[in-house]
Amino acid sequence: MFSASTPPPGPLEKVFQYIDLHQDEFVQTLKEWVAVESDSVQPVPRLRRELLRMAGLAADRLRGLGARVASVDAGFQQLSDGQTLPIPPILLAELGSDPKKPTVCFYGHLDVQPARQEDGWLTDPYTLTEVDGKLYGRGTTDNKGPVLAWINAVSAFKALDEDLPVNIKFLIEGMEESGSLALEELVRKEKSGFFSSVDCIVISDNLWISRRKPALIYGTRGNSYFTVEVKCRDQDFHSGTFGGILNEPMADLVALLGSLVDASGRILVPGIYGHVAPVTEEEKRVYEAIDLDMEEYRNSSQVKKFLFDTKEELLMHLWRYPSLSIHGIEGAFHEPGAKTVIPGRVIGKFSIRLVPHMDMSVVETQVKQHLEYIFSKRNSSNQMTVSMALGLHPWIANISDHQYLAAKRAIKTVFGTEPDMIRDGSTIPIAKILQDTTQKSVIMLPLGAVDDGEHSQNEKINRWNYIEGSKLFAAFFLEMAKLHSSW
C-alpha cells in the first residue's frame, strides 16, 4: 500500500490525528449502519420499515453535526400487483452558508442489494465482521462506508472546534439500487433552491481499479436493458407429449440470445458501433498511464483469462466501448433435478452498456430490427416481443474542473501518490441527472479497492480505505477552499 505523506501542520494535521484516534468509533458506527437491512430491491413492507429506520439514523447523525436536515417525503411506489409501499424520505442537509466559502454537496445512498448468508457469505451479511483489516458486511463499500467517511471528515473538524473550510450539503437517498425513485423529480424541483449555491457535487459510489492505488473517475457507461419474450401459450408442455411437433419457445430464445454477441465479445447487432466516439491520442496516453497489474487484476477477479491481453485494450473495452451481457431467462426450469418440461413462454434478459455518443433510441431500433430479422429466419409460429425496459445515459466529466484538481491534491496529501484517472464500466444514473439538471460540476471520488465485491457475496471495505478515505474527504475540503480563494 502507498504510505501517506506527512500532512501539513495546522488544522489538517489535527484532523488526521483525530480520525486515527477515533477510528474504532467510526468502525462501530459503520457496524450499526450495516446492521440495518436496508434492502430496497425486494418490495416487502418489513424491508421498507428498515429503510425508513436507516433514513432516521442518518438524519440523527447529520443533526448531531449541527446540520439543518429536511426529510423530504418521496411518496409511494406502486407495484404491479396493486400493492403500494412507502418510498423512504430523501434527506437534504446543510451545514454552513458562508458566501466566502465554496459549497460542496455530497451525494450518497443508504440502501443495499439483497444479501443472505446461505447465498455464499462467509459471515452474516448484516453483522459487520473484521478479518485481517477487512470490514465485511452488506453496504460497507456500497455505499454506507463512503457516506460515513464524509460524515467522519466533517465530525473531525467539528470535534476539534476547527472552522470547516467549505459549506457542506448532503443529498442522501434510500432507493438507488431500485432506480432512485422520486429523486430526479426532487433534483429538478430544487435546482434553483437547494442546489443553487452548490459549486460541485461529489459522488463516492465506485471503486478503484487497484487494490492499493487511489483513483478519480471521470466517466461511466450508460445502460439499455432489454427483454425478449417468446410465447407459444401460457401453460408449459410435457416433452413426451409435445416434443418434436412444435416450435419450442426456449429453442427460439436461445437462438435469439446467441445472435447478439460473438465469442470475442463483439456485439453482432448491425450498426451498433456507428456512433461510438473515436479514440483520441490524448485518451490513449491516459490509458497508458494507469497503474494496472494485469496478473493481479485477473487473480483478484478469479478469472482464468480475459478477452484482451493488453492493459490498454482491456480498459478501453471495459470503459469506452459498448458491451452486451446476457443476464438470464425467466420462465425456464432452473431448480435442481430433472423436469421434462417445455416452457410455453420464456423471457430473455440482456443489456447493452452505452458509451458516448451512442443514441439510446437508435440502439433500441437497431436491437429490435436485428432480433426481428433473426426470428423471421426461423419461420417459428411463436410470438416474439422485444422491449427496452430501462434506458440510462452515459456520463463524462471535464477533468480540468476545479474539483478534479482539488481531489488530485488531496489524494497526494493523504496517499502520497497521483491518482489513476479512470472511467467506470457500470452506470450511475444520478451523475448524469445531477450534472444535466443542476448544471453543476460532478466528480466521482471513490474510496473502495477493486476487490471490495460490491453487490456480491462477502462485500467489504478495508479499514485502511475507510479511515484514509475519511482523511481524503477532509483534505478535499481544504483544497477546494484554497482553489476557491483564487477563483
Provide the annotated active-site residues.
Answer: 111, 176
Residues 6+ apart with CB under 8 A from 109: 143, 147, 172, 173, 174, 175, 176, 177, 180, 205
Q: Is 424 annotated as a binding residue?
A: no
Q: Is 357 annotated as a binding residue?
A: no
By C-alpha distance, which of 180, 201, 235, 128 is closest to 390?
180
Q: How far apart are CA 143 and CA 109, in angstroms?
A: 6
CB-count burial class (<10 Å; 0-12, 13-18, 19+) for 389: exposed
What string of DSSP letters covers 12-61?
A: HHHHHHHHHHTHHHHHHHHHHHHTS--B-SS--HHHHHHHHHHHHHHHHH
Q: Is 205 annotated as a binding residue?
A: yes
Q: Is 262 annotated as a binding residue?
A: no
Q: Is 39 annotated as a binding residue?
A: no
By C-alpha distance, which of 119, 62, 115, 110 is closest to 88?
110
Cβ proximity of 89 and 55 under 8 Å: yes
By C-alpha distance, which of 349, 451, 356 is closest to 390?
349
Radius of gyration (Cα) for the chain, nearest Å? 24
Type of residue at 79: L
| Cα-Cα end-to-end distance for the chain | 35
Residues flagged as binding site: 109, 142, 177, 205, 455
Residues flagged as binding site for Mn(2+): 109, 142, 177, 205, 455
